[in-house]
């Protein structure tokens, strides 16, 4: 095993692009005991000094450690007194694994040709060996919704765990939803004008969408004489087995999207992006539409907007009673998504409580994605997908993940970058030793 | 438009009298007679300040032969009775493309074009066309001339609007005739711009590149002339037109500064053609020597009816809409001399209305008239013949029915070179009134109403009958359907009575007579009152006039922040000095400087000044964040079209109204180095600014800064991600990059030698010797070799970092900073040995192939090795969270908090050689400081106050005030625009502001 690791190490440094991710962890064999950490449940509650027992990949016990007697024999016992334990953070709406390096076209696999592609499935392009993945989980992000981009309907996403040999292993929920990019209104022409033409184009886009949805629904209600793979992929939208994720940023667009989904009898609608949701938070709350809010570390939409508008949007949604969670879509979203916890931290500086902010990247995300039965919080019976940090995981100064589990499997927290760090630290250490005549 | 018939007959004669055209053959017989025209009884405005009532203007041939109140009218003169009318000199437009072919846009070509496609021995660059002469390309165009004549112009300057150097223009008359007759003055003004126009050649691709090309070209022309080198026709022609009065066209008021600097460099006093926003630079224009050409073009109100769509409309556009008509009066208020132009005006019918609007907005009538007559006349060097109504001047004048600035006044005739053009034909008689029409035994009451030009007639029997009543060449046509639906048609003459004949429906001819029984009485129209549309508060909003803010946009100041004496007490100071972090301490600032650090020092000066006290309990006070690598506040970022663009200066491309300046103040940033992009190995000269929000471009520059230049290595410079066509510009590999540097530095040394030799020559030797060419590119590179300029080099891979250090070592200079330097950790020992510093990203990687080995521990390793290490942003969003980025050095690389904080404050100050004035809390340093709500590197910390030069540019309270002011102003302007819409005024669609989100690899 050690030899194997060395070999991998050498390969990874020689052929940087082909760098391998860390070896996936074996299934849990022994009971795991985490003793003494402050447990952040994910639902707003905290247990100051907790005991967590993991059995068969599930949380079997989570209690105040002082109230319980434990048997540590035949168990992997971890003294984590003074540390913090969190549910694994969940990254919705991400292209992680669908590309490794933005600038290398051959590595990009998230945008298929075509406008209406519900049948496109992200999961088959998901690269479990993407060298980016291990650098994300070292900050506590353990689960993600792998989402295609581009076109009007970009395709179908799937939810994965960030530790697997292949995509089949990685799957947590297959084909969880279809992603629709709402047409821009008013569309701007090349000179940034609101032109009348663009309004017509926008209306055309909406008509196209309506037409497409009507056909999809008709197909769903028919006895399906012939298989139509496009409309087949849309069925779940109408029977509730798939969610419809509408990616839309403007206030006007959000309203139109919500009304459209109602008209089309879409069973489960989720708004994605929703940068301007703060303008119409009450409308969204009244319609009980969940929101995956675009990256908190974002510039305001307009010059006129408050400079901290993006930072304080989570608080506005929280106060309005909107179910929301945070994503990291945008520039350099894959490598940058290890900063997801810190965007939640920023939301704390601008109004949320720390536990509310935590919920927005754990339990709320699980609820929005429909996986809250098994993941998203530290509760008995749920998957032991969790991690331990030396300090507050939402603050970059103290986020130091020392232990992480996905369904009880203990993760290798190394990564390509740590390997390089160690390698070059050796170089200078050796140089220093030579200088000092120690060698 | 109609010309007087009799003038047409004499027109040919006029032509033949022109001396220059006597050699033209005549197709027919030659007329030699020129009648005298006498314009009598009008008020004649000789110039803007002088007018004579009931005066006489005598015109013969092309000239005014006399003007005055008591002069003799020759017996045979053709008399024009103009009682009540006003005569003015015709207008002169100093900025048109009249008579020149429209410049057609060439299609964009994705393939790079490195060389000029122009045939002939002309400039290497297609954007330089000093050889162009409007006079050689001018051909009169009647329909275009008419549009100008209808606005009141008689004479215009014509130039071609293409390129950076546009050649010489011509002053031409708008009269009919051949080109030869119409040229008034040729080659007396030269035209320039900062826009390359139609050229598809890659260079210049940026604003600062355009300026550099213009400067270099002028130096080249002088050099070629000195050396008697006539091989490059463009340089020869450029040298000629350099002697002419220069006009430069600008696209933005910030470019006035660029034109002024260019003018100072080459002793050229530019006439500045602005875009109607020059008032926004009014503070810089108080002592300007430049004259301006001001377009009479104002934006229409925007369609703000949808509250969501309206969000796309920025406050700066709204404020400019409101203030644009005041542009001229504001310029006049600081003594700027200007002429008006109709250039940029889409609907020429707006011209006179806009002129009157400028007067409504405070410009004196005299100044407005001068700006259309005497000022442009002098500007175009034609004041001896144009612009005034005086004996001996050209007969170019306008006849208005009333005083020009009266909104109801109309231009009736425009006389150009003694030829009259009728703009508006007024009926000689007002036919309106009540009449009795007798015809075929019937007696019918007939009313004529409407306007004198647009008459409405009806027969007012029991059933009102519509009547068509038209006057044509003194004959009156009447037709109507009688009660049997038969059409009756009449034609008559006279005024009262109108008599004549007509034909009935049965074909019988009859006579008729129409007698006036009462004069017309005008019923005043009901005027719509805003008060009926809006409640009182909104009316006040609408009638209010906005102030100009600095900058004139959201978050702009109404009053510039002041340098106060401020004392921070009981707080935690991050000194970045040997004192380290001091708890429960005080700090005082006064007059822009830190004057005391620590409780003891503060106690000594406590009573000396009247301090504003800020209780800093629980808070942290630090020096301001300095961003070593930023692209905000710029209008372009890359001149990447050549391997070296050392000649370009980022300071030329400053955009001081970038909202990101304000946003970054809210993130505690007080200084930023604005760098050229990374599109080529040798980039451009950097600009270091302080975040003085609201200041002019010049005021924003960091005074004591040492000059820097951006270099770049790796993927970007070899155009790796530029697509399939960009495969021809050298270099395309890292191997080529090394050679670019060797070549540049070798040539720079040779250049130095050449000039040193030249400087040793005596004055007389110089006259007979070949002068070396001044090369802005090499001159800048030479500054590096002479240690007068530092390098900050965009770098990733270790091999090329080592390469550049080898180049530097071999050329005997030191690289100051490796910026980005993501593989710095691999060669930290070598960087240290060379003596360079590092400014890196905290955790960026995997966005390009070359950053595959970037690690978030990089900064810590470099710092541990004793290299001056900073974290930079290269991103306008992340720049406002550089405090959080610093924290990542603690997280990933275990750097101490104190050291990590220096990554974004003291260390970048050291790298930029400004640590003597900023970067730490030290007595005597600039009061560029930030008060944090919390530990400055905590994600939970917020900026509460940011000071630059001791001025409070951001605070939570100020920000709340600013937001309130933004929204009040928006609301007011939206109501004002809606009022325009409700009054039926023209409105325009909303246009979103251009986005300037620059990174290193933005290609402009």
Euclidean distance between CA atoms A152 and A178, whole angstroms: 11
Of A297, A336, A395, the CB nearest to B940: A395
Chain A residue whose CA is closest to B302:
A194
Helix (H, G, I), strand (E, B) or coil at A238: helix
**Whether residue A243 is found in the same domain as residue A369:** yes
Res A21 pLDDT > 80: no
- Most distant CA pair in chain A, distance: 83
pLDDT attached to residue B723: 87
pLDDT attached to residue B98: 97
**Whether residue A39 is found in the same domain as residue A100:** no
Whether residue A213 is contained in a domain is answered as yes
Boundary (domain end) residue, out of A328, A359, A375 = A375
8 Å CB contact of A251 and B315: no
The pLDDT-based confidence of B187 (bands split at 50, 70, 90) is very high
Of B755, B37, B670, B699, give the one whose Cα is nearest residue B395. Answer: B37
When pLDDT is averaged across residues B162-181 and rounded to a whole number, the result is 96
| Residues spanned by the domain of A255 | 89-375
pLDDT tens sequence across B426-461: 767 788 889 999 988 888 899 998 877 788 898 888
**Whether residue A353 is found in the same domain as residue A431:** no
If one counts the domains in chain A, the total is 2
8 Å CB contact of A194 and B937: no
Q: How far is CA B768 from CA A72, B239, B758, B762, B909, in A?
A: 99, 19, 11, 10, 49
**Whether residue A152 is found in the same domain as residue A284:** yes
**Whether residue A422 is found in the same domain as residue A328:** no
In this predicted structure, which of B44-58, B259-273, B535-549 has the lowest mean pLDDT?
Answer: B535-549
Continuous segment of H or E residues that includes residue B212: helix B207-226
Class of domain B558-624+919-983: mainly beta
Res A45 pLDDT > 60: yes
The pLDDT-based confidence of B541 (bands split at 50, 70, 90) is low
Of A104, A195, A252, the CB nearest to B849: A104
Task: Name, in order, each residue with C-beta under 8 angstroms of B451's C-beta and a sequence gap of 6 or more.
Answer: none
- Is residue B86 within 8 A of residue B402, CB to CB? The reply is yes
pLDDT attached to residue B426: 73
- E-assigned strands of A221-336? 243-248, 269-273, 291-293, 324-326
Domain chopping of chain B, boundaries: 2-85, 91-103+121-386, 433-519, 558-624+919-983, 625-704
Res B11 pLDDT > 50: no
8 Å CB contact of B663 and A196: no
Q: To the nearest whole percent, how much of chain B has pLDDT over 70?
A: 96
Res B227 pLDDT > 80: yes
| R_g of chain B computed on alpha carbons | 36
Q: Which residues pair with A75 in a beta bridge?
A: A31
Q: What CATH number should be reported for the domain whose range is B2-85?
A: 2.30.40
- Is residue B667 within 8 A of residue B626, CB to CB? The reply is no
Task: Name, in order, each residue with C-beta under 8 angstroms of A57's C-beta and a sequence gap of 6 or more.
Answer: A27, A28, A383, A384, A407, A408, A409
8 Å CB contact of B887 and A396: yes
- Is residue A158 within 8 A of residue A123, CB to CB? The reply is yes
**Whether residue A247 is found in the same domain as residue A170:** yes
pLDDT attached to residue B528: 47
Phi, psi (degrees; rounded to nearest 5) at A100: -110, -45
Euclidean distance between CA atoms B364 and B331, whole angstroms: 12
pLDDT attached to residue B512: 92
Q: How far is CA B837 from CA A222, B865, B870, B919, B986, in A?
A: 70, 11, 8, 16, 59
The pLDDT-based confidence of A187 (bands split at 50, 70, 90) is low
Q: Which two tokens stand for residue B712?
A: 């770049």
pLDDT attached to residue B394: 97
Which single residue is written with the structure tokens 């050329």?
B811
- Is residue B871 within 8 A of residue B907, CB to CB? The reply is no
DSSP-assigned letter for residue A17 = G
Task: Residue A32: give its domain's CATH number.
Answer: 2.30.40
Res B756 pLDDT > 90: yes
Q: Which residues pair with B792 in a beta bridge?
A: B710, B817
**Whether residue A95 is found in the same domain as residue A137:** yes
pLDDT tens sequence across B936-978: 999 999 999 999 999 999 999 999 999 999 999 999 999 999 9
Sign of CA dihedral B379, B381, B386, B390: positive
- ∠ Cα B20 B23 B25 (to 5°): 130
- Is residue B817 within 8 A of residue B792, CB to CB? The reply is yes
Whether residue A399 is contained in a domain is answered as no
Find chain A residues with C-beta within 8 A of B308's C-beta: 250-252
8 Å CB contact of B991 and A192: yes
Res B12 pLDDT > 80: no
Boundary (domain end) residue, out of A325, A355, A375 = A375
pLDDT tens sequence across A78-122: 999 999 999 999 999 999 999 999 899 999 999 999 999 999 999
pLDDT attached to residue B539: 53
Euclidean distance between CA atoms B793 and B713, whole angstroms: 7
Euclidean distance between CA atoms B597 and B571, whole angstroms: 11
Whether residue A400 is contained in a domain is answered as no
The structure's pTM equals 0.93
Q: To the nearest whole percent, how much of chain A has pLDDT over 90?
A: 84
**Whether residue A345 is found in the same domain as residue A197:** yes
When pLDDT is averaged across residues B496-508 and rounded to a whole number, the result is 89
pLDDT attached to residue A190: 58
Chain B residue whose CA is closest to A430:
B829
Whether residue A6 is contained in a domain is answered as yes
Which single residue is written with the structure tokens 């820097």?
B708
Nearest-Cα distance to chain B for A238, in Å, is: 31
pLDDT attached to residue B906: 98
Find chain B residues with C-beta within 8 A of A425's C-beta: 861
**Whether residue A246 is found in the same domain as residue A124:** yes
Res B354 pLDDT > 50: yes
Q: Which of residues 340-379 of A touch B (CB under 8 A)?
A: 342, 345-346, 348-350
How many CB atoms within 10 Å of residue B32?
Answer: 8
Q: Which two tokens stand for residue B350?
A: 């707006």
Average pLDDT, chain A: 92
Euclidean distance between CA atoms B454 and B424, whole angstroms: 13
Nearest-Cα distance to chain A for B110, in Å, is: 18
Euclidean distance between CA atoms A160 and A140, whole angstroms: 15
Nearest-Cα distance to chain A for B331, in Å, is: 28
Q: Which of residues 95-124 of A touch B (CB under 8 A)?
A: 100-104
Q: Residue B579, CB half-sphere, CA atoms under 13 Å: how many? A: 15
Euclidean distance between CA atoms A247 and A432, whole angstroms: 54
The pLDDT-based confidence of A8 (bands split at 50, 70, 90) is very low
From the centroid of its chain, how far is CA A318?
A: 19
Res B136 pLDDT > 50: yes
When pLDDT is averaged across residues B323-348 and rounded to a whole number, the result is 95
Q: Which residues pair with B156 in a beta bridge?
A: B93, B172
The pLDDT-based confidence of B537 (bands split at 50, 70, 90) is low
Burial of B142: CB neighbours in 10 Å, binned 0-12, 13-18, 19+: exposed
pLDDT attached to residue B204: 97
8 Å CB contact of A307 and B662: yes
pLDDT attached to residue A10: 43
In this predicted structure, which of A352-356, A434-438, B42-46 has the lowest mean pLDDT?
Answer: A434-438
Q: Which residues pair with B45 in a beta bridge?
A: B51
Residue A428 contacts B, CB cutoff 8 Å: yes
When pLDDT is averaged across residues B194-223 and rounded to a whole number, the result is 97
**Whether residue A152 is found in the same domain as residue A270:** yes
8 Å CB contact of B308 and A252: yes
The pLDDT-based confidence of B10 (bands split at 50, 70, 90) is very low
Euclidean distance between CA atoms B901 and B895, whole angstroms: 10
Euclidean distance between CA atoms A84 and B845, whole angstroms: 28
Burial B760-769 (b: 16+ CB within 10 A, else e): eeeeeeeeee
Average pLDDT, chain B: 93
**Whether residue A47 is found in the same domain as residue A138:** no
- Is residue B518 within 8 A of residue B525, CB to CB? The reply is no
Res B30 pLDDT > 90: no
In this predicted structure, which of A51-60, B436-445, B750-759 has the lowest mean pLDDT?
Answer: B436-445
Which single residue is written with the structure tokens 């009775």?
B81
The pLDDT-based confidence of A191 (bands split at 50, 70, 90) is low
- Is residue B912 within 8 A of residue B706, CB to CB? The reply is yes
Task: Residue A127: give its domain's CATH number.
Answer: 3.20.20.140
Task: Name, in order, each residue with C-beta under 8 angstroms of B404's C-beta and a sequence gap of 6 or more.
Answer: B45, B86, B88, B352, B365, B369, B398
Class of domain B433-519: mainly beta
Please give the span between the terminal C-alpha atoms of chain A, in angstroms, as a whole number.
30
pLDDT tens sequence across B615-659: 999 999 999 999 999 999 999 999 989 999 999 999 999 999 999
Sheet arrangement for strand B271-273: B91-96, B153-158, B165-173, B183-193, B245-249, B271-273, B292-295, B338-341
pLDDT attached to residue A205: 87
In this predicted structure, which of B325-334, B675-684, B991-1000 has the lowest mean pLDDT?
Answer: B991-1000
Whether residue A272 is contained in a domain is answered as yes
Res B14 pLDDT > 50: no
pLDDT attached to residue A435: 78
Of B849, B813, B818, B850, give the one whose Cα is nearest residue B831. Answer: B818
Whether residue A256 is contained in a domain is answered as yes
pLDDT tens sequence across B371-390: 999 999 999 999 999 999 99
Q: How far is CA B874 from CA A129, B676, B907, in A?
A: 30, 11, 17
Does the fold of domain B558-624+919-983 match that of domain B91-103+121-386? no
pLDDT attached to residue A200: 72
pLDDT attached to residue A72: 84
In this predicted structure, which of A114-128, A202-216, A237-251, B588-602 has the lowest mean pLDDT?
Answer: A202-216
CATH architecture observed for domain B91-103+121-386: Alpha-Beta Barrel (3.20)
Find chain B residues with C-beta within 8 A of A329's C-beta: none
User: What is the DSSP pairing of strand B183-193 with strand B165-173?
Assistant: antiparallel
pLDDT attached to residue A15: 43
Euclidean distance between CA atoms B705 and A56, whole angstroms: 64
Euclidean distance between CA atoms A256 and A237, whole angstroms: 18
pLDDT tens sequence across B765-797: 999 999 999 999 999 999 999 999 999 999 999
DSSP H helical ranges for A153-224: 167-170, 196-221
Res B580 pLDDT > 90: yes
**Whether residue A140 is found in the same domain as residue A38:** no
Nearest-Cα distance to chain B for A69, in Å, is: 35
Helices (H) and strands (E) in chain B, counts: 27, 44
């Amino acid at each position: 095993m050690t030899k194997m690791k060395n070999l991998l190490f050498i390969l990874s440094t020689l052929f940087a692009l082909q760098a391998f991710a860390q070896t996936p962890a074996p299934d849990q064999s022994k009971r795991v005991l985490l003793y003494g950490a402050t447990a952040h449940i994910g639902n707003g509650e905290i247990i100051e000094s907790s005991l967590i027992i993991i059995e068969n990949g599930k949380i079997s016990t989570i209690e105040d450690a002082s109230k319980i007697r434990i048997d540590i024999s035949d168990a992997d016992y971890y003294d984590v007194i003074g540390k913090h334990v969190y549910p694994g953070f969940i990254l919705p709406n991400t292209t992680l694994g669908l590309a490794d390096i933005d600038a290398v076209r051959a590595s990009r696999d998230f945008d298929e040709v075509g406008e209406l592609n519900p049948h496109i499935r992200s999961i088959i392009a998901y690269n479990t060996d993407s060298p980016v993945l291990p650098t994300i989980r070292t900050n506590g992000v353990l689960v993600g919704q792998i989402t295609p981009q581009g076109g009007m309907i970009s395709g179908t996403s799937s939810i994965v765990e960030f530790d697997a040999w292949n995509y089949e292993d990685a799957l947590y929920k297959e084909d969880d939803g279809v992603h629709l990019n709402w047409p821009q209104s008013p569309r701007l022409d090349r000179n940034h004008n609101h032109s009348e033409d663009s309004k017509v184009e926008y209306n055309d886009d909406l008509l196209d969408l309506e037409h497409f949805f009507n056909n999809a629904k008709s197909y769903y209600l028919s006895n399906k004489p012939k298989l139509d793979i496009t409309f087949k992929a849309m069925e779940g939208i109408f029977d509730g087995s798939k969610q419809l994720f509408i990616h839309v940023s403007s206030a006007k667009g959000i309203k139109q999207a919500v009304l459209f989904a109602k008209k089309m009898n879409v069973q489960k609608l989720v708004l994605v992006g929703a940068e301007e949701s703060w303008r119409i938070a009450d409308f969204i709350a009244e319609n009980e539409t969940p929101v995956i809010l675009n990256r908190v570390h974002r510039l305001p939409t307009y010059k006129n907007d408050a400079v901290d508008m993006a930072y304080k949007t989570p608080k506005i949604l929280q106060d309005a009673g909107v179910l929301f969670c945070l994503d990291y879509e945008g520039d350099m979203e894959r490598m940058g998504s290890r900063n997801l916890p810190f965007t939640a931290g920023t939301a704390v500086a601008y109004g949320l409580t720390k536990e509310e902010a935590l919920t927005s990247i754990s339990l709320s995300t699980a609820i929005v994605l429909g996986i809250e039965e098994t993941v998203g919080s530290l509760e008995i019976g749920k998957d032991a997908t969790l991690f331990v940090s030396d300090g507050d995981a939402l603050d970059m100064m103290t986020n130091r993940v020392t232990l992480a589990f996905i369904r009880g499997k203990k993760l290798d927290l190394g990564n390509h970058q740590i390997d390089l760090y160690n390698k070059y630290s050796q170089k200078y250490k050796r140089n220093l030793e030579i200088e000092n005549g120690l060698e | 438009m109609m010309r007087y018939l009799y003038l047409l007959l004499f027109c040919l004669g006029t032509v033949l009298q022109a001396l220059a055209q006597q050699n033209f053959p005549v197709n027919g017989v030659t007329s030699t007679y020129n009648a005298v025209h006498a314009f009598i009884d009008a008020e004649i405005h000789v110039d803007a300040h002088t007018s004579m009532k009931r005066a006489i203007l005598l015109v013969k041939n092309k000239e005014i032969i006399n003007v005055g109140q008591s002069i003799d009218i020759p017996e045979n003169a053709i008399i024009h009775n103009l009682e009540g009318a006003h005569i003015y000199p015709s207008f002169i437009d100093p900025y048109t493309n009249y008579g020149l072919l429209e410049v057609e846009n060439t299609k964009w070509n994705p393939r790079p074009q490195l060389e000029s496609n122009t045939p002939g021995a002309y400039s290497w660059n297609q954007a330089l066309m000093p050889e162009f002469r409007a006079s050689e390309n001018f051909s009169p165009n009647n329909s275009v001339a008419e549009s100008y004549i209808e606005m009141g112009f008689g004479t215009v300057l014509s130039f071609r609007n293409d390129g950076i150097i546009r050649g010489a223009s011509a002053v031409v008359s708008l009269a009919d005739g051949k080109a030869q007759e119409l040229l008034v003055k040729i080659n007396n003004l030269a035209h320039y711009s900062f826009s390359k126009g139609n050229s598809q050649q890659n260079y210049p691709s940026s604003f600062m590149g355009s300026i550099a090309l213009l400067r270099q070209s002028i130096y080249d022309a002088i050099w070629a002339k000195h050396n008697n080198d006539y091989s490059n026709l463009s340089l020869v022609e450029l040298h000629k037109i350099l002697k002419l009065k220069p006009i430069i066209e600008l696209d933005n008021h910030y470019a006035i500064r660029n034109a002024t600097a260019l003018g100072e460099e080459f002793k050229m006093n530019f006439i500045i053609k602005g875009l109607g926003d020059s008032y926004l630079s009014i503070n810089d224009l108080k002592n300007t020597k430049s004259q301006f050409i001001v377009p009479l073009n104002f934006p229409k109100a925007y369609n703000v009816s949808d509250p969501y769509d309206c969000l796309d409309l920025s406050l700066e556009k709204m404020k400019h809409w409101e203030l644009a008509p005041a542009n001229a009066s504001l310029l006049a208020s600081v003594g700027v001399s200007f002429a008006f132009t109709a250039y940029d005006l889409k609907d020429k019918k707006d011209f006179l209305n806009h002129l009157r609007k400028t007067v409504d907005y405070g410009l004196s009538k005299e100044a407005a008239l001068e700006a259309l007559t005497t000022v442009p006349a002098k500007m175009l060097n034609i004041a001896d013949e144009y612009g005034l109504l005086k004996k001996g001047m050209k007969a170019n004048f306008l006849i208005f029915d009333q005083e020009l600035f009266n909104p109801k006044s109309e231009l009736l005739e425009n006389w150009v070179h003694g030829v009259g053009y009728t703009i508006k034909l007024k009926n000689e008689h007002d036919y309106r009134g009540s009449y009795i029409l007798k015809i075929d035994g019937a007696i019918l009451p007939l009313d004529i109403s409407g306007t004198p030009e647009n008459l409405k007639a009806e027969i007012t029997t029991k059933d009102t009958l519509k009547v068509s009543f038209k006057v044509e060449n003194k004959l009156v046509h009447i037709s109507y359907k009688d009660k049997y639906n038969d059409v009756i048609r009449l034609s008559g003459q006279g005024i009262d009575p109108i008599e004549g004949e007509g034909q009935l429906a049965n074909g019988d001819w009859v006579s008729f007579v129409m007698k006036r029984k009462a004069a017309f009485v005008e019923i005043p129209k009901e005027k719509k009152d805003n008060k009926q549309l809006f409640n009182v508060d909104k009316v006040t909003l609408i009638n209010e006039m906005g102030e100009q803010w600095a900058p004139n946009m959201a978050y702009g100041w109404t009053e510039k922040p002041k340098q106060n004496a401020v004392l921070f007490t009981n707080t935690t100071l991050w000194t970045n000095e040997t004192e380290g972090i001091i708890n429960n301490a005080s700090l005082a600032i006064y007059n822009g400087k830190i004057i005391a650090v620590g409780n003891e020092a503060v106690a000594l000066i406590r009573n000396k000044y009247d301090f504003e006290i800020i209780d800093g309990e629980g808070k942290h006070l630090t020096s301001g964040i300095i961003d070593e690598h930023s692209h905000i506040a710029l209008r372009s970022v890359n001149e990447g079209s050549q391997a070296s663009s050392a000649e370009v200066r980022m300071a030329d491309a400053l955009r001081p109204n970038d909202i990101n300046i304000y946003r970054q103040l809210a993130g505690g940033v007080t200084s930023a180095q604005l760098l050229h992009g990374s599109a080529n190995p040798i980039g451009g000269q950097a600009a270091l600014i302080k975040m003085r929000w609201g200041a002019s471009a010049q005021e924003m520059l960091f005074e004591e800064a040492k000059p820097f230049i951006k270099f770049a290595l790796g993927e970007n410079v070899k155009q790796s991600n530029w697509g399939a066509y960009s495969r021809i510009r050298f270099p395309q590999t890292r191997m080529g990059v090394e050679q670019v540097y060797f070549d540049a530095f070798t040539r720079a040394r040779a250049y130095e030698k050449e000039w040193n030799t030249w400087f040793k020559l005596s004055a007389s030797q110089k006259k007979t010797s070949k002068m070396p060419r001044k090369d802005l590119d090499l001159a800048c590179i030479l500054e590096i070799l002479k240690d007068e300029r530092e390098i900050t080099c965009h770098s990733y891979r270790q091999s090329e970092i080592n390469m550049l250090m080898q180049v530097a070592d071999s050329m005997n200079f030191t690289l100051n900073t490796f910026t980005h330097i993501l593989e710095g950790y691999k060669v930290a020992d070598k960087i240290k040995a060379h003596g360079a510093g590092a400014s890196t990203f905290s955790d960026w990687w995997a966005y390009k192939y070359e950053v595959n080995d970037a690690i978030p521990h990089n900064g810590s390793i470099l710092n541990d090795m004793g290299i001056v290490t900073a974290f930079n942003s290269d991103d306008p969003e992340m720049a406002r969270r550089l405090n959080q980025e610093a924290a990542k050095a603690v997280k990933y690389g275990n750097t101490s908090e104190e050291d990590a904080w220096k990554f974004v404050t003291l260390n970048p100050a050291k790298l930029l050689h400004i640590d003597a004035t900023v970067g730490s809390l030290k007595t005597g340093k600039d009061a560029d400081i930030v008060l944090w709500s919390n530990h400055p590197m905590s994600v939970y910390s917020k900026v509460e106050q940011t000071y630059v030069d001791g001025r409070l540019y951001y605070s939570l309270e100020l920000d709340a005030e600013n937001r309130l002011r933004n929204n009040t102003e928006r609301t007011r302007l939206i109501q004002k625009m809606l009022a325009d819409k409700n009054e039926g005024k023209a409105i325009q669609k909303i246009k979103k502001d251009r986005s300037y989100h620059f990174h290193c690899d933005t290609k402009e």
